[in-house]
Chains A and B, each alone.
Chain A
Amino acid sequence: MNEIIGRIIIVVGVVFDTIGCIGLVRLPDVYNRLQAATKCVTLGTCGIMFGIFIMQGFNSLGIKALVCIPFIFLTAPTAAHALARGAHLFGVKLWEKSVCDKYQEDKK
């Protein structure tokens, strides 16, 4: 029973990863790509880790997979935020159909 539930959660995680990578290829702008890819891939990889924990139970492999989840949740959004700020300071233009740019207003 645990095996089946774990596999279902792993499949859901891989589906989220797929959506994130399609967004990384298809979207028009650095900021759009960063937003789509980071959120979907973070949740997808955490789903894979949680599915492995459900499948394995409380042995060493399952506990290490469970420890990976908070680390991914801490590090991936921090890296994405630093990268977005760096790209904005670097001077990359927004997409021409973007409606607002609060950081640019804030810098003036």
Chain B
Amino acid sequence: MQILILILVILCFFCLYRAWRGLTIPDRMVAIDILAILVVGICALLAVYTKREFLIDVALAWIFLGFIGTLALAKYLSGRKFNE
């Protein structure tokens, strides 16, 4: 169980690499969206591993935070024009 949580944390660093390096603004938004879903998985595994049940409530709330944040950023993005 520890090794699975460690793998998921390393995958979060992959997402952070894309958010740091991403060539355009939508790349960074995609990386943050994927990062939110990965953190949900990490919270659920931690809830089983540490036997603290409130962490799964954190996961359930985090789904909607990521969703609303991504929708707001996509709406902000569609009214603008791309320049290098």
Given A11-B4, A45-B40, A86-B26: A79 touches B70 (CB 8 Å cut-off)? yes
**Chain B neighbourhood of A17, CB < 8 A:** 7-8, 11, 38, 41
Q: CA separation between A76 and B60, bound complex, in Å?
A: 13
Contact indicator A68/B64 (Cβ below 8 Å): no
Which residues of chain A (1-40) have a CB below 8 Å from chain B? 7, 10-11, 13-14, 17-18, 20-22, 24-25, 30, 33-34, 37-38
Q: How far is the CB of B41 from chain A (nearest CB, A)?
A: 5
Contact indicator B78/A14 (Cβ below 8 Å): no
Contact indicator B34/A37 (Cβ below 8 Å): yes
Q: CA separation between A13 and B5, bound complex, in Å?
A: 12
Select one of B18, B48, B70, B77 contacting A24, CB under 8 A.
B18
Q: CA separation between A80 and B40, bound complex, in Å?
A: 17
